[in-house]
Amino acid sequence: MAALVMGERRGFGTEPMAPHNLVFSIAGASLLWVGWFGFNAGSATAANGNAGMATAVTQIATATAALSGMFAEWALKGKPSVPGIISGAVAGLVAITPASGFVDPRGALLTGVLAVAWVGGESKSGLIDGNPHQVLVQLYAIVVVIYDAIASLILLKLVDLTIGLRVEADVEREGIDLAIHGEAVQ
Protein backbone atom coordinates (compact mmCIF):
# COMPACT_ATOMS: atom_id res chain seq x y z
CA MET A 1 0.00 0.00 0.00
CA ALA A 2 2.90 2.35 0.77
CA ALA A 3 4.31 1.83 -2.71
CA LEU A 4 0.92 2.68 -4.23
CA VAL A 5 0.47 5.79 -2.12
CA MET A 6 3.98 7.12 -2.72
CA GLY A 7 4.12 6.25 -6.39
CA GLU A 8 7.17 5.78 -8.54
CA ARG A 9 10.53 7.25 -7.69
CA ARG A 10 11.25 10.52 -9.45
CA GLY A 11 12.96 9.78 -12.75
CA PHE A 12 11.86 6.13 -12.80
CA GLY A 13 11.78 4.88 -16.38
CA THR A 14 13.56 7.95 -17.75
CA GLU A 15 16.85 7.90 -15.82
CA PRO A 16 19.14 4.90 -15.24
CA MET A 17 18.85 3.62 -11.68
CA ALA A 18 21.39 0.86 -11.40
CA PRO A 19 22.19 -0.42 -7.90
CA HIS A 20 24.74 1.80 -6.22
CA ASN A 21 26.85 -1.13 -5.04
CA LEU A 22 26.81 -4.46 -6.87
CA VAL A 23 28.89 -6.16 -4.18
CA PHE A 24 26.25 -5.38 -1.55
CA SER A 25 23.52 -6.46 -3.97
CA ILE A 26 25.23 -9.80 -4.53
CA ALA A 27 25.83 -10.24 -0.79
CA GLY A 28 22.17 -9.50 -0.03
CA ALA A 29 20.89 -11.87 -2.70
CA SER A 30 23.28 -14.57 -1.50
CA LEU A 31 22.08 -14.22 2.08
CA LEU A 32 18.48 -14.46 0.88
CA TRP A 33 19.28 -17.53 -1.19
CA VAL A 34 21.00 -19.38 1.66
CA GLY A 35 18.43 -18.33 4.26
CA TRP A 36 15.58 -19.42 2.03
CA PHE A 37 16.68 -23.06 2.36
CA GLY A 38 15.83 -22.99 6.06
CA PHE A 39 12.53 -21.33 5.31
CA ASN A 40 11.37 -23.78 2.63
CA ALA A 41 12.88 -26.94 4.11
CA GLY A 42 11.83 -25.93 7.63
CA SER A 43 8.22 -25.90 6.49
CA ALA A 44 8.40 -29.70 6.40
CA THR A 45 8.74 -29.52 10.24
CA ALA A 46 11.07 -32.51 10.22
CA ALA A 47 14.48 -33.52 8.93
CA ASN A 48 13.15 -35.98 6.39
CA GLY A 49 12.82 -36.60 2.67
CA ASN A 50 10.27 -33.82 2.29
CA ALA A 51 12.71 -31.29 3.75
CA GLY A 52 15.47 -32.61 1.51
CA MET A 53 13.29 -32.33 -1.57
CA ALA A 54 12.22 -28.80 -0.58
CA THR A 55 15.91 -27.86 -0.34
CA ALA A 56 16.71 -29.43 -3.71
CA VAL A 57 13.81 -27.83 -5.58
CA THR A 58 14.58 -24.46 -3.98
CA GLN A 59 18.13 -24.65 -5.31
CA ILE A 60 17.04 -25.87 -8.75
CA ALA A 61 14.30 -23.27 -9.22
CA THR A 62 16.45 -20.39 -7.96
CA ALA A 63 19.46 -21.28 -10.08
CA THR A 64 17.26 -21.79 -13.13
CA ALA A 65 15.49 -18.47 -12.54
CA ALA A 66 18.84 -16.69 -12.11
CA LEU A 67 20.00 -18.06 -15.46
CA SER A 68 16.63 -17.30 -17.04
CA GLY A 69 16.86 -13.71 -15.80
CA MET A 70 20.37 -13.41 -17.20
CA PHE A 71 19.44 -14.84 -20.60
CA ALA A 72 16.27 -12.73 -20.82
CA GLU A 73 18.23 -9.57 -20.14
CA TRP A 74 20.90 -10.64 -22.59
CA ALA A 75 18.27 -11.13 -25.28
CA LEU A 76 16.46 -7.86 -24.54
CA LYS A 77 19.39 -5.54 -23.79
CA GLY A 78 22.25 -7.19 -25.66
CA LYS A 79 24.28 -8.07 -22.56
CA PRO A 80 23.78 -9.91 -19.29
CA SER A 81 24.10 -8.10 -15.98
CA VAL A 82 24.47 -8.89 -12.31
CA PRO A 83 21.19 -7.13 -11.38
CA GLY A 84 19.43 -9.30 -13.97
CA ILE A 85 20.83 -12.45 -12.40
CA ILE A 86 19.95 -11.24 -8.90
CA SER A 87 16.40 -10.31 -9.92
CA GLY A 88 15.94 -13.71 -11.52
CA ALA A 89 17.23 -15.51 -8.42
CA VAL A 90 14.91 -13.62 -6.09
CA ALA A 91 11.98 -14.26 -8.44
CA GLY A 92 12.86 -17.95 -8.39
CA LEU A 93 12.91 -18.01 -4.58
CA VAL A 94 9.52 -16.36 -4.41
CA ALA A 95 8.02 -18.55 -7.12
CA ILE A 96 9.17 -21.88 -5.65
CA THR A 97 8.17 -21.15 -2.05
CA PRO A 98 4.47 -22.10 -2.22
CA ALA A 99 5.28 -25.14 -4.34
CA SER A 100 8.48 -26.33 -2.61
CA GLY A 101 6.71 -29.11 -0.75
CA PHE A 102 4.84 -30.35 -3.80
CA VAL A 103 7.10 -30.26 -6.86
CA ASP A 104 9.82 -32.57 -8.04
CA PRO A 105 13.02 -31.36 -9.75
CA ARG A 106 11.27 -31.13 -13.13
CA GLY A 107 8.60 -28.90 -11.62
CA ALA A 108 11.34 -26.81 -10.05
CA LEU A 109 12.96 -26.33 -13.46
CA LEU A 110 9.66 -25.17 -14.90
CA THR A 111 9.08 -22.91 -11.91
CA GLY A 112 12.50 -21.36 -12.40
CA VAL A 113 11.90 -20.71 -16.09
CA LEU A 114 8.24 -19.71 -15.99
CA ALA A 115 7.73 -18.81 -12.31
CA VAL A 116 4.55 -20.90 -12.50
CA ALA A 117 4.33 -24.69 -12.07
CA TRP A 118 1.85 -26.39 -9.86
CA VAL A 119 2.60 -30.08 -9.84
CA GLY A 120 0.51 -32.19 -7.45
CA GLY A 121 1.88 -33.46 -4.15
CA GLU A 122 0.83 -35.66 -1.27
CA SER A 123 -0.16 -33.29 1.53
CA LYS A 124 -2.79 -31.13 -0.19
CA SER A 125 -5.65 -30.16 2.04
CA GLY A 126 -8.43 -28.09 0.51
CA LEU A 127 -12.04 -28.28 -0.60
CA ILE A 128 -11.27 -30.67 -3.46
CA ASP A 129 -9.44 -32.96 -1.04
CA GLY A 130 -12.33 -33.08 1.43
CA ASN A 131 -11.44 -30.19 3.73
CA PRO A 132 -14.11 -27.48 3.29
CA HIS A 133 -12.90 -25.67 6.44
CA GLN A 134 -9.84 -24.56 4.46
CA VAL A 135 -12.10 -22.36 2.30
CA LEU A 136 -13.30 -20.54 5.44
CA VAL A 137 -9.70 -20.08 6.59
CA GLN A 138 -8.78 -18.58 3.23
CA LEU A 139 -11.84 -16.30 3.19
CA TYR A 140 -10.87 -15.07 6.65
CA ALA A 141 -7.35 -14.39 5.38
CA ILE A 142 -8.78 -12.35 2.49
CA VAL A 143 -10.82 -10.24 4.93
CA VAL A 144 -7.71 -9.66 7.07
CA VAL A 145 -5.67 -8.58 4.04
CA ILE A 146 -8.39 -6.16 2.92
CA TYR A 147 -8.62 -4.71 6.44
CA ASP A 148 -4.81 -4.32 6.57
CA ALA A 149 -4.77 -2.58 3.19
CA ILE A 150 -7.50 -0.10 4.22
CA ALA A 151 -5.91 0.58 7.63
CA SER A 152 -2.51 1.09 5.98
CA LEU A 153 -4.01 3.45 3.42
CA ILE A 154 -5.62 5.56 6.13
CA LEU A 155 -2.41 5.71 8.19
CA LEU A 156 -0.27 6.54 5.17
CA LYS A 157 -2.62 9.34 4.12
CA LEU A 158 -2.55 10.76 7.66
CA VAL A 159 1.26 10.72 7.72
CA ASP A 160 1.39 12.26 4.25
CA LEU A 161 -0.97 15.07 5.32
CA THR A 162 0.93 15.81 8.53
CA ILE A 163 4.67 15.35 7.93
CA GLY A 164 4.76 13.99 4.38
CA LEU A 165 6.00 10.72 2.98
CA ARG A 166 8.55 11.94 0.44
CA VAL A 167 11.72 13.95 0.68
CA GLU A 168 12.37 16.93 -1.60
CA ALA A 169 13.21 16.18 -5.23
CA ASP A 170 16.88 17.21 -4.96
CA VAL A 171 17.36 15.04 -1.85
CA GLU A 172 15.77 12.08 -3.61
CA ARG A 173 18.00 12.57 -6.65
CA GLU A 174 21.16 12.88 -4.57
CA GLY A 175 20.24 9.93 -2.39
CA ILE A 176 18.87 9.97 1.13
CA ASP A 177 21.93 8.28 2.66
CA LEU A 178 24.20 11.06 1.45
CA ALA A 179 21.81 14.01 1.75
CA ILE A 180 20.37 13.29 5.19
CA HIS A 181 22.95 11.06 6.88
CA GLY A 182 26.12 12.26 5.15
CA GLU A 183 27.06 8.68 4.29
CA ALA A 184 27.90 7.02 1.00
CA VAL A 185 29.27 3.67 -0.09
CA GLN A 186 32.70 4.15 -1.62
Packing angle, helices 82-96 and 105-114, rounded to 10: 130
In a domain, 70, yes or no: yes
In a domain, 8, yes or no: no
- List the domain range (segments joined by +) for residue 54: 19-124
Residues 37 and 113 in one domain: yes
Residues 104 and 145 in one domain: no
Q: How much is the pLDDT for 66?
A: 93
Number of domains observed in the structure of the chain = 2
Residues 107 and 168 in one domain: no
Residues 34 and 112 in one domain: yes
Beta bridge partners of 15: 12
Residues 112 and 36 in one domain: yes
Q: How much is the pLDDT for 122?
A: 44
> To the nearest whole percent, how much of the chain has pLDDT over 90?
38
Residues 114 and 35 in one domain: yes
Residues 87 and 23 in one domain: yes
pLDDT at 185 over 80: no
In a domain, 157, yes or no: yes
Residues 111 and 161 in one domain: no
Residues 109 and 26 in one domain: yes
Residues 129 and 113 in one domain: no
Looking at mean pLDDT, say which of 11-15, 36-40, 114-118, 182-186 comes out highest: 36-40
pLDDT at 119 over 50: no
In a domain, 150, yes or no: yes
Vertex 118, ends 130 and 125: CA angle to 5°? 20
Residues 159 and 138 in one domain: yes
The closest alpha carbon to 83, from 17, 131, 151, 2, belongs to 17
In a domain, 10, yes or no: no
**Domain end position, chosen among 124, 142, 170:** 124
pLDDT digits (tens, 9 = 90+) for 29-81: 999 999 999 989 988 888 898 899 999 999 999 999 999 988 888 888 899 98
Using an 8 Å Cβ cutoff, are 68 and 8 in contact?
A: no
In a domain, 13, yes or no: no
Q: How much is the pLDDT for 90?
A: 92
Average pLDDT over residues 92-116: 85
Residues 140 and 71 in one domain: no
In a domain, 135, yes or no: yes
pTM over 0.85: no
**Domain end position, chosen among 102, 124, 146:** 124
- Give the single-character DSSP code of 44: T
In a domain, 9, yes or no: no
Q: Which amino acid is present at 152?
A: S
